[in-house]
Amino acid sequence: MISRKEVEAAWGLIRPHVRRTPVLELGPGSFGIAAPLALKLEALQVSGSFKGRGAFHKLLASKVPAAGIVAASGGNHGAAAAYAARSLGHKAEIFVPTIAAPAKVARLQSYSAIVHQIGAVYAEARAASEKHAAETGALIAPAYEDPVVFAGAGSVALEFAEQATFDTLLVAVGGGGLIAGCAAAIGDQVKIVAVETEGTPTLHEALKAGKPVDVTISGIAADALGASRIGTPNFEIAQKLVRESVLVSDDAVRTTQRALWEALRLVAEPAGATGLAALMSGAYRPAAGERVATLICGANTDPGSVG
């Protein structure tokens, strides 16, 4: 298991390559939530999501061969890996499932990556990417199941804790890279709550079973939160440091996306709105005096889809 020490080291390495994203601190009553609320606008990160942190750390901490890198992704990690590779002078080939949003595929191509759309879900794209890496010798840049990647992702929690004071951090979960990194960074100091959609309950089901298990993926956030199984090292950290796991409906996510646009003129993809959806829908109810925070962790979507 990684600890805060590894996350701090990762942050030091990637700091010149990523953005310090802003935080909005809102009083009680905002978005119908009784508690004070802090939102970290990580959707303003390079490549449009928190994934830039982990991607840069993987490439900077690794020896990248002449064949470049290979990554599998629902879209956000692929964009981050492609952006980081281009920035550091490496080739990138990205494998995405056919459910990947067109906006995310276009973003990948804008970063000069070779894009392969293979398989109906992330797991199939991942298998194809691993086969390609074995054939070419390219470095695999995992989306989440890699301590190097989620140590980089965890830097967002260290930065957030410098910018705002909160008791509880709600984190959207797909494969578990973000929540593992955040929990390793600050899970001994604040309450970490996992949030997933009803169609992507990867960590929720693993916590119930006591081990990673396969789940069927569906729904509004399937392209970004659509890992069929939580990563094993990610689960080990979550099992120890995540205090609570909640699920939200697709309708709750859509409502939150619209609310972010109406109230703040912020565009969030479904995964990016999932943490806040838990608060707005009542899936997570803060106690009296509890200060809550969450990440608007991605915005790689068609802006017209949230109006």
CATH number at residue 302: 3.40.50.1100
* SS3 state at 227: coil
Distant-in-sequence, close-in-space partners of 199: CB < 8 Å, separation ≥ 6: 217, 218, 219, 220, 221, 222, 250
Domain count, the chain: 2
**Quick one: 152 and 288 in the same domain?**
yes
Residues 56-80, buried b or exposed e (16+ Cβ, 10 A)? Answer: bbbbbeeebeebbbbbbbbbbbbbb
pLDDT at 300 over 80: no
Structure tokens at 272: 């990016």
**Quick one: 161 and 233 in the same domain?**
yes
**Mean of pLDDT values over 31-56:** 96
**Quick one: 155 and 293 in the same domain?**
yes
Percent of the chain with pLDDT over 90: 80
Q: What is the pLDDT of residue 224?
A: 67
Read off the pLDDT band of 75 (50, 70, 90). Answer: confident
**Quick one: 181 and 227 in the same domain?**
yes
β-sheet bridge partners, residue 293 = 38, 169
**Quick one: 108 and 175 in the same domain?**
no
Q: What are phi and psi of 196, to 5 degrees?
A: -135, 160
Domain that holds residue 89: 52-140
- Which of 225, 245, 279 has the alpha carbon at shortest distance from 100? 225
Model-level pTM? 0.93
Q: Are 245 and 194 in contact (CB under 8 A)?
A: yes
Which one is predicted more confidently, 54 or 301?
A: 54
Q: What is the pLDDT of residue 222?
A: 74
**Quick one: 66 and 91 in the same domain?**
yes
Q: Are 195 and 250 in contact (CB under 8 A)?
A: no
Structure tokens at 50: 């928190």
**Quick one: 190 and 257 in the same domain?**
yes
